[in-house]
Amino acid sequence: MKCYIVKELLPAFIDGLTCKKTNADITAHLEECSHCRRIHAQMTAPISEALPEGLPNTPPPNFLQKLRGRIFRRNVTAAVLSLVVALVAVLIFAHQWRVPITFDANRMFVEIRDEVVVQSPTGEISWAGTAWLFPPEYTVLHTRETAYFAWQNFGNTGTNARGRDLYRDGERVRVVFIHKTETLWDSLFFNIEAVNWSNGGSFTGTSIYGDDFQTAHPTPKRIEIYYLPVRNIVRLGNLSDESFDAQRANATRIWAGTN
């Protein structure tokens, strides 16, 4: 049997996959061929004995300790990075997520202000606190009382409102729900005593008056203004009139009157 054939058959011969006749032929060849015997010896030698000369058969001293240390440092680094990412995510969430503010009668109220109703040369109607805010060519039609939702001593808060004209017992009623929100961060760490009393504001508009806002002669109607501490007051727009009016059960009435 030739050498190249023996070399091809050696793996199967070593694993015991060749037939008896082939085994006899290979064995006879190995007895005669030193080159093939050396290849056979290398293929059947233990792994440690088959390592090239100069390569250590045992790990260097403290190998396991160094390996454990490397793995530990890698795990610590991954844990620290994960913690940093989690903290950043929590901070972003705390500064973005808004929570409703509980009603406080000392800081939230409705003001009735005297305003002038003016008409521009082109016929546009505006309401304002004083006539001097408008150019002299504007015409003052009359004065009126206007309801404003106002607040004082607040930091970085948001204010929103939803109003709707309803008919209750045959009477037209404008029901208005207002809320204020603040970020989760401010609700946890904001110091209200550090805010100056002048840090406040107010608003009026279509939420309170509906289509009558900024008209020359709005029809007087009953207006009820409630404070509703919910996170998302916009969803009230999807409710039926009956469900919208039923929200009064969860709200605090701030003001009611004909205006």
pLDDT digits (tens, 9 = 90+) for 174-226: 999 999 998 888 888 765 555 544 467 898 999 999 999 989 998 899 999 99
**1 three-class SS:** coil
Residue 130 and residue 142 in one domain: yes
Residue 129 and residue 227 in one domain: yes
Residue 15 and residue 108 in one domain: no
Q: Domain of residue 35: give its range.
A: 3-50
Across the range 165-175, mean pLDDT stands at 93
Structure tokens, 222: 């009953």
- DSSP notation for 91-121: HHHHHH-EEEPPP-TTTEEEEEEEEEEEE-T
Residue 131 and residue 223 in one domain: yes
Residue 33 resides in a domain? yes
Q: Percentage of the chain with pLDDT > 90?
A: 49
* Separation CA 144–CA 128 (nearest Å): 10
What is the domain count for the chain?
3
Strand 108-119 to 125-128 pairing: antiparallel
Residue 71 resides in a domain? yes
pTM over 0.85: no
Residue 193 and residue 112 in one domain: yes
* Separation CA 233–CA 228 (nearest Å): 8
Residue 139 and residue 217 in one domain: yes
Across-strand partners of 174? 165, 223
* Separation CA 67–CA 88 (nearest Å): 32
